Amino acid sequence: MSAATVQANPQSPPIPQGFGVVIRAVPYPPRAGGELWLHGSFHLPRAVLDVVERPIQRAVVLVVQRIGEATVATPLREHILFDEDDQLSPGGVCGYFSLDVFESQGGGVPGEYHLFVSIDEHLSNVLAVDVAP
């Protein structure tokens, strides 16, 4: 089982004021063969619950792009999660997630990566990350 979590931590970005998904990467800059943690938060309209079951974190889709290749994964799909892992807000649902981008690959290789996540039709910001040798 991975060390991915759905709890807020000191590296988590704040919940967006409006609707959206926000991510940040830690440590920066990452090193080849090491970890690259992606910390995210989301605030989505309540209508997303008509399409996605709670907890919303199960629907996080991670996209990792590198020259000539792309990886798409649902890293939290098989985790033991509870409805309380996200929170209802006025008109929406919000929560957090953290995951190691390179966990399933045994560490990143040097180069430039573009990372983003989607939840239903909502896309996060895109991070350009240079992985050092």
CATH of the domain at 92: 2.60.40.10
121: in domain: yes
94: in domain: yes
**In sequence order, which residues have a C-beta less than 8 Å from that of residue 12 and are 6 or more positions away?**
39, 40, 41, 96, 98
pTM, two decimals, is 0.91
5: in domain: no
pLDDT of residue 16: 94
Residue 1 has pLDDT above 60, yes or no: no
Number of domains, the chain: 1
pLDDT of residue 126: 97
Domain of residue 118, residue span = 20-131
Residue 61 has pLDDT above 70, yes or no: yes
CA angle, 110 as apex, 25 and 104 as ends, to 5°?
Answer: 65
4: in domain: no
7: in domain: no
Q: Name the pairing type of β-strands 92-100 and 37-45.
A: antiparallel
Each residue of 67-102: pLDDT tens digit?
Answer: 888 889 999 988 889 888 999 988 899 999 999 998
105: in domain: yes
